[in-house]
């Protein structure tokens, strides 16, 4: 399960350092290249809850195998893509495979480990692996792109995916008999369409002189309409994608909302690191990737210590600490960019981002899946993952899209993006503060 999580997390960020090489090969500009990053995360996030329901309805082992096959096939297609549109299609398919496989994988972990210190440690490993995958994606992207070419950032994962498939078939128990029920496909499509339309509207509006300048306003209106329709569909569906009663647990709702807001800032920081190193300082892919090694090392350290601290302090305390560390990191990024400092000056920001991700995501994740049962474990994990991924992709679209928009002439894009992220983090702090836990120990707590 951790290997699958690692491969999926790597694919979220592995394209970032390689984007200039991809654009050079296909003649794609910056606006088009945005979809190589955001298309994967939005499609994956939008379909995650459908993936969670598929695991509950069809059996987690079956769904885990199917999603992993789709993800591996799409990785192969991305590495061999002869054209830019086909590369984007492959990235969308990768997101779909992730959406099907990951909720089933997380549900397997949640059901294997009962609530308490053992689940805290298991979820700590799960989150740490994801964090390391996200950051090592930058490093691997630089090394692989420089030495072998950008296509190998996708092809290298194929043999590992085959290993995951073999392990699942050998080690994960067969599914018990499942009651087949209808799936809420309209709800899933609307949940995916809303962020895709939002991303398109923001990116095209920021360009100012795009080929279809009249399309951004209708796209943004369509995004709002799709979100409203999603709620209406869920109210009336016989088997809703997300039963609205699932959100009666207020702490669960707050944990997922805070996760989305925190992930928005964390994902934004990754792109800001890459842009500063390559665009501002002019580093090549290899040097830019290696410069991000302190971030990877810090995340490994966080993966060792955070699970221990989660057993001593409440999940809310860990979440607030993570949000606070991330605020300091965004302030550091803005200061470094304002002064035009060297790459070494980014190291404190990298360490703070690692601490923010380690404390914040693990603490919020624990609350988001507290109190789940056999019947809704897949749904709870799908909602949590969707909040994480859609929050990250929306944050990149909004914060980086506005900060680096050509329409904002004269404004420092790093300062603007960082300030927007801090505003979102302030909201995350208010939401996380209101999470109610009945006991002081996260190891034995359940959401209130």
Q: What is the DSSP string of 320-335?
A: HHHHHHHHHHHHHHHH
Torsion angle, CA of 294/75/89/284, rounded to 10 degrees? 40
Question: Distance between CA atoms of 237 and 246, rounded to whole angstroms?
Answer: 14
Average of per-residue pLDDT across 161-172:
90
- This prediction's pTM: 0.78
Q: Where would I find the H helices in 237-313? A: 250-275, 285-291, 293-312
Q: Find the distance separating the first CA and the last CA of the chain, reported in whole Å.
A: 29
Label residue 136 by pLDDT band (50, 70, 90).
Answer: confident
Among 76-90, 213-227, 264-278, the range of highest mean pLDDT: 76-90
**Which residue, among 3, 35, 109, 98, has the nearest Cα to 389 in the 3D structure?**
98
Whole-angstrom distance, CA of residue 355 vs CA of residue 364? 14
**Which among 134, 109, 111, 102 has a CA at the least distance from the CA of 302?**
134
Say if residue 223 is exposed, middle or buried (CB neighbours under 10 Å; 0-12, 13-18, 19+): buried
For residue 163, the number of C-alpha atoms closer than 13 Å in the C-beta half-sphere is 11
> Can you tell me the distance from the alpha carbon of 95 to that of 373, in angstroms, rounded to the nearest whole number?
27
Tokens of 63: 């769904």
CATH topology of domain 2-173+185-444: Growth Hormone; Chain: A; (1.20.1250)
3-state SS, residue 214: coil
Q: Which residues are CB-contacts of 84 (< 8 A; sequence separation ≥ 6)? A: 22, 26, 27, 28, 32
Helices first, then strands: H and E counts in the chain? 18, 0
The full set of domain ranges for the chain reads: 2-173+185-444
Q: What is the dihedral of CA 418, 18, 92, 81, to 10 degrees?
A: 160
Q: Using one digit for the tens of pLDDT, what is the confidence trace for 241-281?
A: 777 777 777 888 898 999 999 999 998 898 888 888 877 88
Of the candidates 3, 117, 58, 46, the one whose C-alpha atom is nearest the C-alpha of residue 388 is 46
CB 360 within 8 A of CB 326: yes
Helices (H), 113-157: 117-147, 152-155
Query: Residue 65 — pLDDT band, cuts 50, 70, 90?
Result: very high
What are 341-392's pLDDT values in tens digits?
888 899 999 999 988 988 888 888 888 877 766 666 667 777 887 888 888 8
């Amino acid at each position: 399960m951790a290997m699958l999580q690692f491969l999926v997390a790597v694919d979220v960020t592995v394209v970032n350092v390689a984007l200039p090489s991809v654009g050079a090969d296909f003649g794609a500009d910056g606006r088009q290249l945005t979809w190589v990053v955001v298309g994967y995360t939005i499609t994956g996030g939008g379909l995650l809850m459908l993936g969670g329901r598929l695991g509950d309805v069809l059996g987690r082992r079956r769904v885990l195998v199917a999603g992993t096959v789709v993800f591996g096939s799409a990785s192969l297609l991305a590495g061999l893509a002869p054209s830019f549109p086909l590369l984007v299609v492959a990235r969308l398919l990768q997101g779909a495979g992730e959406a099907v496989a990951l909720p089933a994988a997380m549900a397997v972990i949640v059901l294997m480990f009962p609530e308490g210190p053992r689940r805290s440690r298991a979820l700590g490993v799960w989150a740490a692996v994801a964090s390391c995958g996200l950051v090592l994606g930058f490093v691997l992207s630089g090394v692989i792109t420089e030495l072998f070419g950008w296509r190998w950032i996708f092809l290298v994962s194929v043999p590992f995916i085959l290993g995951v498939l073999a392990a699942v078939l050998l080690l994960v128990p067969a599914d018990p008999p499942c009651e087949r029920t209808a799936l809420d496909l309209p709800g899933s499509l609307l949940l995916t369409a809303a962020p895709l339309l939002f991303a398109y509207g923001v990116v095209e509006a920021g360009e100012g002189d795009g080929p279809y300048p009249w399309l951004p306003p209708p796209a943004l209106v369509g995004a709002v309409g799709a979100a409203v329709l999603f709620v209406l569909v869920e109210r009336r569906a016989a088997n809703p994608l997300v039963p609205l009663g699932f959100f009666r647990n207020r702490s669960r709702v707050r944990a997922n909302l805070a996760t989305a807001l925190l992930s928005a800032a964390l994902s934004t920081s990754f792109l800001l690191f890459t842009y500063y190193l390559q665009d501002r300082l002019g580093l090549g892919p290899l040097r830019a990737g290696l410069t991000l090694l302190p971030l990877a090392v810090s995340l490994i350290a966080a993966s060792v210590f955070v699970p221990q601290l989660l057993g001593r302090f409440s999940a809310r305390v860990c979440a607030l600490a993570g949000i606070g560390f991330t605020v300091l990191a965004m302030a550091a990024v803005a200061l470094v960019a304002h002064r035009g400092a060297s790459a070494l000056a980014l190291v404190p920001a990298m360490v703070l981002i690692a601490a923010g991700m380690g404390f914040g995501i693990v603490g919020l994740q624990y609350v988001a899946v507290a109190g789940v049962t056999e019947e809704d474990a897949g749904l709870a994990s799908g909602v949590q993952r969707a909040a994480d991924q859609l929050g990250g992709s929306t944050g990149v679209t909004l914060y980086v899209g506005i900060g680096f928009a050509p329409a904002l002439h004269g404004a420092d894009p790093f300062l603007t993006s960082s300030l927007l992220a801090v505003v979102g983090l302030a909201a995350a702090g208010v939401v996380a503060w209101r999470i109610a836990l009945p006991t002081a120990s996260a190891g034995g707590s359940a959401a209130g």
